[in-house]
Amino acid sequence: MGLSEIKERVQKAEAEAGRAPGSVTLIAVSKVQPDARVEAVLEQGHRTFGENRVQEAAGKWPGFRERYDGIDLHLIGPLQTNKARQAFDLFQAIHSVDRPKLARTIARLAQETGHCPDLFLQVNTGEEDQKAGVLPADADAFVAECRTLDLPVKGLMCIPPVDEEPSLHFALLAKMAARNGLTGLSMGMSGDFERAIALGATHVRVGSAIFGERDYA
């Protein structure tokens, strides 16, 4: 499909939802994509990218940053506490803060380094056993705990169950964010980002629709 068509669809969805132009950040999810495909998107002027793994990002992005200014890198996959320090050096935002132990580790590193990436707290809206994130019932308490740690919590993130209507989960996340005075909503992927924008998404994570199907081989 390509970057320009996805950008047009984002702009159309913003307009249809009565949102201000440019109010939605398009994160191009470059995980497991060959460098040539990523470079092609960089050459088109796009600068906001998402990666799932710290190790993969560490091998890919320092080189790109030497050649392209203004890269804004977001971690959208799970973060192990022992990789948090490395994540601080690589990412401008972390969308997968999913447990108190990780929040405390990030807070300690923020004190040590004097800076902290923007943070989104991951909520397991579908209450799926295999998925990371705090349960909806625990979300308010987790937001409060992160605030007592002085963490820069920008919003909430979710990944709806694949076999359920995503709009229900987007609406639930938006309600939780509003209740906690949070404006950031990281939700919506290649197949459903327009529905996410209609329900208030500020960050959509689109991969295969921009880059083509991933080759995990």
Q: What is the pLDDT of residues 48-95, one digit of tens each?
A: 999 999 999 999 999 999 999 999 999 999 999 999 999 999 999 999
Identify the pLDDT of residue 216: 65
Cα angle 52, 57, 58 (rounded to 5 degrees) comes to: 140
**Lowest mean pLDDT: which of 42-51, 170-179, 206-215?**
206-215
Rounded Cα distance between 153 and 140, Å, is 12
Cα angle 26, 19, 118 (rounded to 5 degrees) comes to: 45
- Kindly report, residue by residue over 117-168, the tens digit of the pLDDT: 999 999 999 999 999 999 999 999 999 999 999 999 999 999 999 999 999 9
Structure tokens at 11: 């702009």
Query: 93 forms bridges with which residues in the sheet?
Result: 74, 118
Once rounded to an integer, what is the mean pLDDT over residues 179-186? Answer: 98
Identify the pLDDT of residue 214: 75
For residue 31, the one-letter residue type is K
Rounded Cα distance between 183 and 162, Å, is 25
Once rounded to an integer, what is the mean pLDDT over residues 189-207? Answer: 97
Residue 110 near residue 130, CB atoms below 8 Å: no
